[in-house]
Amino acid sequence: MTLQLTNVTLTHANGVHALRGVDLHIAAGEQVAIIGPSGAGKSSLLNLLATALRPGSGEVQLLGERAWQLSARQRQRLRARIGLVHQAPPLPPRQRVITAVLAGKLGQWSLGKSLLNLLHPVDIPGARAALARLDLGDKLFAQCQQLSGGQLQRVGVARVLYQAPEVLLADEPVSAMDPVLAGHTLTVLCRHAREHKVTLVASLHAVELALGHFSRIIGLREGQILFDLPPGAVDHELLDRLYANEQLQSPPTPVAPLSLQIPRC
């Protein structure tokens, strides 16, 4: 088993029960989609798999290692083999796209190479190849703040593709894209996973996209797995049960702009 969760419970700092007693087994090379209503715990589940969050109870086994029994350094090495596409791309606005993409390999590079990369990009062809697969090859030297939301998300995906991890986790990777672009990006992700024998786990809001691209659909509701089926077996009744009484999603809080306080003395 590449990814294995055993009776995992996760409670956030504000008291919200994100996951309750989740059991999950994902084999190497599988392509899994996670769907569910807002607040079901999809992001929490993916962040847990990426070792960004620590479970309250239960065991997390990733790539054959018990993630939270390792020392900090060993866990860092494990993390370099797992890639997470974040829901909101964590890219500094003034950073250039090329540096943002090349940062994907920071967990694998030596000290000298990482340092050199700050001054001058060390692998322009590699970054371009990753971006080209997402039709962003011409934005290599643009600043992140010059891109649209959908383009930023694709840069986030390109970074993880460049990282070339053994496990690829994607938290709503296409939420800011139009349906055609979203479908295209998911195709790229799935093809990459197939060609490189990478385990792919993606959470998606759009059910049709999930059903159309993945071979295993997991439905998550209120922190528990409702069903775990191939796409053919997912029918309307099941989806209704999954999304029953979906609350209106509150808009994300806008990030306050950085303010400059120049004192007047």
Partner 1 sequence: MLTSDSRDPATLPRLLLSLLAVALLWPGIRFSELDLSVLLAGGSQSEMGRFVATFWPPAYGEEFLALLWQATLQTLAIATAGMTLALLLAVPASLLASRALSLSAASRGGRPSFLGRLLRWPVRGLLIFLRSVPEIVWALLFVRAVGLGPTAGVLAIAITYSGMLGKVYAEIFESVDQRPAHALLQAGSGRLAAFAYGILPNVAAELLSYTVYRWECAIRASVVMGFVGAGGLGQQMDLSLRMFAGGEVASLLLTFLLLVLLADQLSRLLRWRLG
Partner 2 sequence: MNRLINLALLLAVGVAVVTSFGYLGIDLGALGDSDNLRQMGAYARRFLSPDLSANHLQAIAHGALETIAMSALGTLLAALFGLILALPAAGRFGWPFKSASRLLLNALRAIPELVWAALMVLAAGLGPNAGTLALALHTTGVLGRLFAEALENTPPQPADAIRLQGANALWAFCYGTLPNLLPQLLAYVLYRWENNIRMASVLGFVGAGGLGQMLYVSLSLFQEAQASTVMMAMLLLVLAVDSLSSWSRQRWVKA
- Contact residues: partner 1, CB under 8 A: 96, 98, 119-121, 124-125, 128, 132, 137-138, 140-141, 264-265
Rg (CA), the chain: 19
Cα–Cα distance, 62 to 168 (Å, whole number): 12
The only residue of 1, 16, 27, 106 in contact with partner 2, by rule CB under 8 A: 106
Given the rule CB under 8 A, which of 37-45, 57-65, 74-82, 204-212 is the region that contacts partner 2? 74-82
Of the candidates 202, 239, 236, the residue with the CA atom closest to the CA atom of residue 36:
239
Give the type of residue at 158.
A
Q: Which positions from 31 to 50 touch partner 2 by CB under 8 A, shown as an x/- string?
A: -------------------x
The only residue of 13, 119, 248, 260 in contact with partner 2, by rule CB under 8 A: 260
Give the rounded distance of the alpha carbon of 130 from its chain centre: 16
Give the rounded distance of the alpha carbon of 221 from its chain centre: 19
Cα–Cα distance, 186 to 192 (Å, whole number): 10
- Residue 163 near partner 2 by CB under 8 A: yes
- Residue 113 near partner 2 by CB under 8 A: no
Residue ranges in the chain assigned as alpha helix (H): 42-49, 72-80, 97-102, 111-119, 124-132, 149-163, 179-195, 207-213, 236-243
- Residue 107 near partner 2 by CB under 8 A: yes
In the complex with partner 2, the residue whose CB is nearer, 180 or 260, is 260
Given the rule CB under 8 A, which of 14-22, 85-93, 186-194, 199-207 is the region that contacts partner 2? 85-93
- Residue 88 near partner 2 by CB under 8 A: yes
**Shortest approach of partner 1 to residue 118 CB, angstroms?**
11
- Residue 55 near partner 2 by CB under 8 A: no
Residue 104: C-alpha distances to residues 82, 144, 162, 227 (Å): 11, 15, 6, 33
State the binding partner of 68 from partner 1, partner 2, none, CB within 5 to 8 A by kind.
Answer: none
Residue 116: C-alpha distances to residues 122, 228, 247 (Å): 7, 46, 49
Helix axis angle, 179-195 to 149-163, nearest 10°: 0
- Residue 92 near partner 2 by CB under 8 A: yes
In the complex with partner 2, the residue whose CB is nearer, 244 or 258, is 258
- Residue 20 near partner 2 by CB under 8 A: no
List of residues contacting partner 2 (CB under 8 A): 50-52, 76-81, 83-84, 86, 88, 90-95, 99, 103-104, 106-108, 114, 118, 163, 255, 258-262
